[in-house]
Amino acid sequence: MQTLIDLRSDTVTRPTPGMRAAMAAAEVGDDVYGDDPTVNRLQAVVAERFGYPGALFFPTGTQSNLAALMAHCGRGDEFLVGQDAHIYTSEQGGAAVLGGIMPHPLEHDPAGGIQIARIAHAIKPDDVHYVRTRLLTLENTLGGRVLSAAYLRAVTDFAHGRGLRTHLDGARLFNAIVKLEVDERAAVAGFDSVSLCLSKGLGAPAGTMLLGEGAFITEARRWRKALGGGMRQAGILAAAGLYALEHQVQRLAEDHDNAQRLAAGLRAIGLAVEQPHTNMVFVDIPEDHGAALAAHLAERGILACITPRTRLVTHLDTPRGKIEAALEAFSAYPGWSRGGAHA
Ligand SMILES: Cc1ncc(COP(=O)(O)O)c(C=O)c1O
Q: Would the CB of 169 count as within 6 Å of ligand 1?
A: yes
Give helix 61-72 / helix 214-226 axis angle, nearest 10°.
120
The whole-angstrom separation of Cα 167 and Cα 135 is 7
Distance CA(19)–CA(156), nearest Å, equals 36
pLDDT tens-digit series, residues 115-160: 999 999 999 999 999 999 999 999 999 999 999 999 999 999 999 9
Residue nearest to atom 5 of ligand 1 (CA): 61
| Residue-wise pLDDT tens digits, 29-53 | 999 999 999 999 999 999 999 999 9
Q: Which atom of ligand 1 is nearest to the CA of 60?
A: 10
Quote the mean pLDDT of the chain.
Answer: 96
Q: What is the pLDDT of residues 218-261, one digit of tens each?
A: 999 999 999 999 999 999 999 999 999 999 999 999 999 999 99
Model pLDDT, residue 297: 97
* Dihedral pair phi/psi, residue 199, rounded to 5°: -100, 5
- Cα 171 to averaged position of ligand 1 atoms, centre (Å): 6
Per residue in 149-182, pLDDT (tens digit) is 999 999 999 999 999 999 999 999 999 999 999 9
Determine the angle formed by the axes of helices 252-269 and 173-180, rounding to 10 degrees.
90
Is ligand 1 within 6 A of the CB of residue 139?
Answer: yes
Which tens digit of pLDDT belongs to each residue from 50-70? 999 999 999 999 999 999 999
- Band the pLDDT of 318: cuts 50, 70, 90: very high
